[in-house]
Structure 1
Amino acid sequence: MIKRCPLVLLLLFLAFPIQGQDSIIALDEVILKVESRKLNPLGDIPSEVLTSRAIALNNPTDFAGTINIVPGVYFLSGALNTNRITIRGIGARTLFGTDKLRMYYNDIPVTNGTGTSTLEAFDLENLSAIRVIKGPKAGNYGAALGGALLLGSQDQGATGFRMWNRTVTGSYGLFKNNLGLHYGDSLLQLTLRYNRLTTNGYRENNYFDRDGLLLDLSYKAGRRHQLGVLVNHIDYRAGIPSSLSRTAFEEDPTQAAFTWAQSRGFEANRYTLAGLSDRISLGNSLENITSIFVSYLDHYEPRPFNILDEYTLGYGLRSVFRGRIGPGENSGRFELGVEQYRDEYAWSTFENLYRENEGQGSLQGDRLSRNREFRTYAQWFGRLEVPLTTAWRATATLALNKTKYEYQDLFNTGVTNQSGERDFDPIILPGFTLRYDPGSGSFAYANASRGFNNPSLEESLNPDGVINPEISQEKGMNYELGGQLELWQRALQIRGALYWMEIKDLLVADRVGEDQFIGRNAGSTRHRGLEVSAEYRKALSQNLRINPFISYTLNAHRFQDFVDGDNDFSGNPLTGVPRNRVYGGFRMDTNAGSFLSLTWQYVDPMPLTDANTLNSEAYQLINLQAGHHFNLLPKVRARLDFGINNLGNRRYASSVLINAGSFNGSEPRYFYPGNARNYFLSLRLDYGG
């Protein structure tokens, strides 16, 4: 009965419409109608947008609660600094961090040379929207099998001076402050934001301390040029409680893993992203947007088994020509561009002498290794969008990728030196979309596209630190049907997608030691799924608006051909992916300035081993938020929010490790406990016109 519950709830929702307004999840085509005079970077390629209103539905530190609104996307959070995103099951086999998708901030690539992205490097309050492209449909944004996340900073777009400050306090010693300043005139738009976040965390050794600074500048340099400057910097230190065994999770989910508690394991990060862009108008129907960017990450992480000291220095260029073919809004469109990125990744490991440090935690000892890797990523892409009739449009995309890794062993000499390189063959990535749009807000589309994933660092090296010359890129084809239906004078909006993705040369990182992995290509997977979302947008009365929404995800993903040694896992459900997920809720607003929102999430059990011998438990979460905004002074507005997360105080795993190993006779550690019931209170003050 539990497994049927999500679908039953979805059908009940669709059969019982409630009036409301304002979009929580907006398909790209809705945004296109607003931006019809612009040369949109996606055209008819479907995507979904989390608006600033949707982002505000959750605690400003809760990325998981925000991202999981989107069907097909699952955000697993072990801690504020331990996150992983999977899209349509892609990335589920990644043990730590997010890879197999591309991420962009104001159109600047922020994914490193092996495809790893760090969403927690950005403050949720600094984002105006998060656009999600699921699957490899957009060759102009990487054609990764998982898709792409496009982050946009707040666009003030107003003249004059504004200032605002939001302070949040809550459970586990939470304190968060976001201070913003904005100045705008006919030529200049300048925004400066500073944020600070500290918390003790729900678990032992779970503290988080972060400072962040964001500069966003836009300047009109004459009729043709619009210059942009973006600088984002964060500096944080966070404890690592790590995962727990089932026994420890059931006994006391607040404890840290024993060795991580003894060593007081933590990570310290300093990350800077800087970009300079120039949007050049070359006439009414042609423009060029060119960005140059540099990023730097300094990372230090004492673990029980060693201490990792690393840095990554990356730089690159992205240049795109966009234009129209023919007159009018229904004209054809084209895009040609290139994205080039190179980074230097240097890392060393040292002994951790925490056992000899008299209970004071980690202590750095002798050097164990010193390595450096240069990673070059280049992608050339084009898109052509052609109107076939007034209602039918066809879009073709084509991308070409070239990736190369060069590894240098700076510790060993002579015959023990492990230096080497891996130069991947060029890969061609075509895509095609056919769309029917009768002009009433409803539309349908069909898409076929090819995508790929580069191997991560762990997958590209063997346990001895040598580049594996046999490793290949994952490759796959995605087939998708979808659309949008608007009913009852466009108040009810229903969206859906049905897809089938075949992936070959599946990348697997087998953990053979506490800090040792073997990367290999191991068979193929088949990803089939259904994604449905709906919302109602119409005023209930002149004084009351209710906006209910719901999304449902069906993940029917399986290993198609997967043999691991003597074990044949072919036909088993894909590890680390729940079959059913539901996310629903509503937001109620009054003309007096009060609001109430409630969200509910259901997640099915997930297989934790490739053999499907162990599963996580299903769970449900309810979050509640209420607030009131009002004028404090003629130019000062105030907003007071109060929220309760995990209202039912459920014990659940907010993230999991798949195929967890057992070392020195200990029980495998699969589970990251989610927070118990917790609270937050926030006050925002705005000054200006």
Structure 2
Amino acid sequence: MKKNTYLILLFISLSAVAQQKVPFTKPDTVQLMTEVVIKGFESDKRLLETPVSAGTVSRRDIQRFSNASLVPAINIVPGVRMEERSPGSYRLSIRGSLLRSPFGVRNVKVYWNDIPFTDAGGNTYFNLVDQNSIRLIEILKGPAGSMYGANTGGVVILHSDEPPLQENIAQKHHFRAQINGGSYGLFGENVQWQYQDKNISSSLTQSHLQSDGYRQNTRLRRDVLQWNGSARLSEKDKLDWILMYADMYYQTPGGLTLQQMQADPRQARPATPTAPGAAEQKAAIYNKTPFAGLSNQYKFNKHWSNTTSLMLAYTDFKNPFITNYEARKETNVGLRTKMVYHTVTGRHDLKFIAGMEWLYNYSAINNYGNQRGNADTIQFRDKIWARQLLPFLQGEWQLGKKFQLQAGLGTNFFVYHYQRLTDLDDSKKKKRLDEQLLPRVAGLYRITDNVSLYASVSKGFSPPAIAEVRPSEGSFYSNLQPEYGWNREIGLRGKLWKNRLLFDITAYHFKLQDAIVRRINDTGAEYFVNAGGTDQKGVEVFTEYILVQNSVTFVRTAKLWTSITLNDFSFTDYSIDDKDYSGNALTGVAKTIWSGGFDMSTAYGLYLNTSFTQTSKLPLNDANGFYAPSYQVLLARLGWKKEFNAFSIELFTGIDNALNQLYSLGNDINAYGNRFYNPAPGRNYYGGLIVNL
């Protein structure tokens, strides 16, 4: 495909027979975020009624953009930052920096419904997730060790998109197909079949995405086949499942210096007198992962219930890098179970939860020399075993409609073994990290029916991930210690003016000890150290205002929204290599991020979604000697929906980076040679077609 083209393919062939067509949704109804039901911490209540700092990303939010990346939708949530250094290379942080995440997702626990998706080694392959299979993304901010074990960042819960089980419902089939394309060789297609009757609800999705990329050596290809669903086994017994196979390949262009980015932002990392370039070495990621998860919910009686979830996954991972070629085979097993007791006595609503989560990872990791993308001479051959055990307890007391109290306690047992088969001493070595008690206490007071005040205190604990103990350059860092800290926060949320205005305001203070920080050696290889501590103060604000709701005029719905993140993050007691960084601003964190937008739909099916984001400058190294400049990003999507008797269609087109800003969406912090920058695409366009049957 030619680059810089505007691709809209307007032909789809569907062949399907349905016993009963699914009724189509009428023109969009604007739903305030406070009406979304939060599942985290076993709340199962509306956000307005939950003492949890949380953000949500709905399917509607995801479809506000190009349908090619989750990044712009997730970045709407204040306090949350998702980056994409090159197509497919996701990074995610919640209320923190990306000090620990050169690529991938660490220090954040991820679940599919109630099924663990993060492995025992502390890593999550978030880029394998197909956004077309997601109904809702729930983001719990701050330490959540009282119920979810090892993390100081927070928790992400992915809710799959099969329809809810309903009694006395006839068989229904729903078919959906989408095709989209855009600049820089972007092309995607997905097909989905949903089935529903009174005992079974399921969703089968096939998805393909490819792109040539904006920069040299940034080609992407991802194929995902996924089947998720629910089955009512009896009046008391329900089974949920997810079966997924993902095959992903993306090239990694490497970081540029400021001068290189300004001279030619589309180039890959060039060769130097001592090292070849990224394109020459065919630097890339190859990931093939089958994932299976089962979750059984059984109600013994009106008071007692149990949910038990099982996860199995295998990953074949290859990473030709500039300095070496890493081949990794990972086997992951996970089990999570919880007993719930729930009773209501007068004005007292009591719930008690006791459970545990067990995770196991076995990784066989081989490092070779890299000969232009081919594995050469063996350098290291290693085996690593990791186990985590996370017991937890929680109680919840609801007193009438006004007051709610949650109190929980968990801990995290983490043990890993490692063995280097290429050493003379190839004996298996063991490292057990000291566990800590992880309490959380949270309370909520309903000031009025529509306004709530909440507060919480919690402790987080995060052991180093396997990729930090044994980074890609091959050394073992067994002295690396867990990071831990206390978080305190208070928030006010609600809706006013006849439910037209939503507001959610949170202030927090998080003090982290033994923070894990990424460093780079003179060959460009990464390693990690404990950096003393950090002091993190922040304010998060999200508001929505409905201008028009279900009007019979030309403009059917319209709303304004804004998201504000204010960060005051700094290092404390941080000295390394005779350099004292205490008091410096935390690397990779912008002090202010502001987003806002306008959404509108009309009686004739036309709709418009706009989004503008302003990000302030941010430090690129611990010494604060280099800063990435501030930047502004404007995005917009224009579409048309039309419903017919048996099907509906949607045509859409859009623009990303409309202001054609030169910026880096994912900096390589503390990069050797000042190669900090990964330029994001310039102004680009996309379009597509969706058919529902």
TM-score normalised per structure 1: 0.90
Q: 2:511 aligned with 1:530, yes or no?
A: no
In structure 1, the residue matched to 2:260 is 248
286 and 44 in structure 1: CA distance in 2 versus 1, 3 angstrom threshold: farther
1:649-668 matched pairs, under 5 angstroms: 649-662=660-673, 668=674
What whole-Å deviation, never above 9, does each CA across 1:326-375 have from its counterpart, x for those lacking one?
Answer: 24786122211111000101110112222xxxxxxx23222111111000
Q: 2:196 aligned with 1:195, yes or no?
A: no
| 2:172 corresponds to which of 142, 155, 160 | 160
CA distance in 1, matches of 2:150, 2:97: 13
CA contact (8 A) 2:150 2:412 kept: no
Deviation (angstroms), 1:472: 1.7
Q: 2:222 aligned with 1:210, yes or no?
A: yes
Instruction: Give the AA of the match of 1:542.
Output: V
In structure 1, the residue matched to 2:185 is 173
Deviation (angstroms), 1:36: 12
Instruction: Give the AA of the match of 1:92.
Output: L
In structure 2, the residue matched to 1:506 is 515
CA contact (8 A) 1:114 1:454 kept: no
CA contact (8 A) 2:99 2:517 kept: no
Deviation (angstroms), 1:261: 1.2
| 2:30 corresponds to which of 22, 37, 46 | 22
In structure 2, the residue matched to 1:643 is 654
What whole-Å deviation, never above 9, does each CA across 1:619-668 have from its counterpart, x for those lacking one?
Answer: 00000101111124x21111111111111111111110111113xxxxx3
In structure 1, the residue matched to 2:641 is 629
Instruction: Give the AA of the match of 2:240.
Output: G
Instruction: Give the AA of the match of 2:552.
Output: Q
Deviation (angstroms), 1:286: 2.5
What whole-Å deviation, never above 9, does each CA across 1:271-302 have from its counterpart, x for those lacking one?
Answer: 12101121101122332111111011111121
In structure 2, the residue matched to 1:399 is 410
516 and 628 in structure 1: CA distance in 2 versus 1, 3 angstrom threshold: closer
Instruction: Tell me the secondary structure at the aligned position of residue 676 of structure 2.
Output: strand
78 and 550 in structure 1: CA distance in 2 versus 1, 3 angstrom threshold: same
Instruction: Tell me the secondary structure at the aligned position of residue 493 of structure 1.
Output: strand
Instruction: Give the AA of the match of 1:653.
Output: S
CA distance in 1, matches of 2:55, 2:565: 14
In structure 2, the residue matched to 1:321 is 339
Deviation (angstroms), 1:43: 5.4
What whole-Å deviation, never above 9, does each CA across 1:232-254 have from its counterpart, x for those lacking one?
Answer: 11102222212111111101111
In structure 2, the residue matched to 1:15 is none
Deviation (angstroms), 1:23: 3.6
CA contact (8 A) 1:192 1:214 kept: yes
428 and 563 in structure 1: CA distance in 2 versus 1, 3 angstrom threshold: same
Instruction: Give the AA of the match of 1:420.
Output: K
Q: 2:315 aligned with 1:297, yes or no?
A: yes
What whole-Å deviation, never above 9, does each CA across 1:583-640 have from its counterpart, x for those lacking one?
Answer: 11011011222110100011011101111111001000000101111124x2111111
CA contact (8 A) 1:164 1:685 kept: yes
Q: 2:590 aligned with 1:578, yes or no?
A: yes
Deviation (angstroms), 1:437: 1.3
CA contact (8 A) 1:597 1:625 kept: yes
Task: Tell me whether 386-395 or 225-234 shows the greater mean CA deviation.
Answer: 386-395
Instruction: Give the AA of the match of 2:63.
Output: A
Task: Tell me whether 384-393 or 646-655 shows the greater mean CA deviation.
Answer: 384-393
Deviation (angstroms), 1:413: 2.3
| 1:599 corresponds to which of 611, 633, 637 | 611
Q: Percent identity?
A: 27
In structure 1, the residue matched to 2:563 is 551
1:207-246 matched pairs, under 5 angstroms: 207-246=219-258
Deviation (angstroms), 1:228: 1.9
CA contact (8 A) 1:239 1:265 kept: yes
Instruction: Give the AA of the match of 2:123.
Output: T
In structure 2, the residue matched to 1:589 is 601
CA distance in 2, matches of 1:235, 1:458: 21
CA contact (8 A) 2:120 2:388 kept: yes
What whole-Å deviation, never above 9, does each CA across 1:133-192 have from its counterpart, x for those lacking one?
Answer: 110146222361100111111132384111110111111111101100111111111211
CA distance in 1, matches of 2:683, 2:448: 46
In structure 2, the residue matched to 1:616 is 628
CA contact (8 A) 1:21 1:537 kept: no
| 2:396 corresponds to which of 373, 379, 385 | 385
CA distance in 1, matches of 2:526, 2:67: 35
CA contact (8 A) 1:531 1:553 kept: yes
162 and 672 in structure 1: CA distance in 2 versus 1, 3 angstrom threshold: same
| 2:497 corresponds to which of 480, 483, 488 | 488
CA contact (8 A) 1:108 1:318 kept: yes
CA distance in 2, matches of 1:224, 1:162: 27
Deviation (angstroms), 1:30: 4.5
CA distance in 2, matches of 1:274, 1:305: 34
CA contact (8 A) 2:97 2:588 kept: no
CA distance in 1, matches of 2:42, 2:624: 49
CA distance in 2, matches of 1:65, 1:462: 29
CA contact (8 A) 2:484 2:512 kept: yes
CA distance in 1, matches of 2:508, 2:419: 41
Instruction: Tell me the secondary structure at the aligned position of residue 184 of structure 2.
Output: helix
CA distance in 2, matches of 1:654, 1:291: 36
In structure 1, the residue matched to 2:16 is none
In structure 1, the residue matched to 2:295 is 277
In structure 1, the residue matched to 2:76 is 69
In structure 1, the residue matched to 2:678 is 672
Q: 2:64 aligned with 1:57, yes or no?
A: yes
CA distance in 1, matches of 2:672, 2:527: 13
In structure 2, the residue matched to 1:146 is 153
CA distance in 2, matches of 1:471, 1:501: 21
Deviation (angstroms), 1:108: 1.2
| 2:37 corresponds to which of 31, 50, 55 | 31
CA distance in 1, matches of 2:542, 2:533: 29
52 and 320 in structure 1: CA distance in 2 versus 1, 3 angstrom threshold: same
CA distance in 2, matches of 1:649, 1:212: 32
Deviation (angstroms), 1:394: 1.2
In structure 2, the residue matched to 1:345 is 363
Deviation (angstroms), 1:322: 2.3
396 and 593 in structure 1: CA distance in 2 versus 1, 3 angstrom threshold: same
CA distance in 2, matches of 1:222, 1:317: 23
Instruction: Tell me the secondary structure at the aligned position of residue 654 of structure 1.
Output: coil
| 1:133 corresponds to which of 140, 143, 148 | 140
CA distance in 2, matches of 1:577, 1:437: 34
1:467-482 matched pairs, under 5 angstroms: 467-482=476-491
Task: Tell me whether 179-188 or 485-494 shows the greater mean CA deviation.
Answer: 485-494
CA distance in 2, matches of 1:51, 1:636: 23
CA distance in 2, matches of 1:464, 1:485: 50
CA distance in 2, matches of 1:405, 1:124: 33
CA contact (8 A) 2:149 2:411 kept: no
CA distance in 1, matches of 2:179, 2:428: 50
Runs of 5+ consecutive residues of structure 1 not aligned to the other structure: 1-19, 355-361, 663-667
CA distance in 2, matches of 1:467, 1:172: 40
CA distance in 1, matches of 2:187, 2:473: 44
Q: 2:463 aligned with 1:457, yes or no?
A: no
644 and 565 in structure 1: CA distance in 2 versus 1, 3 angstrom threshold: same
Instruction: Tell me the secondary structure at the aligned position of residue 30 of structure 2.
Output: coil
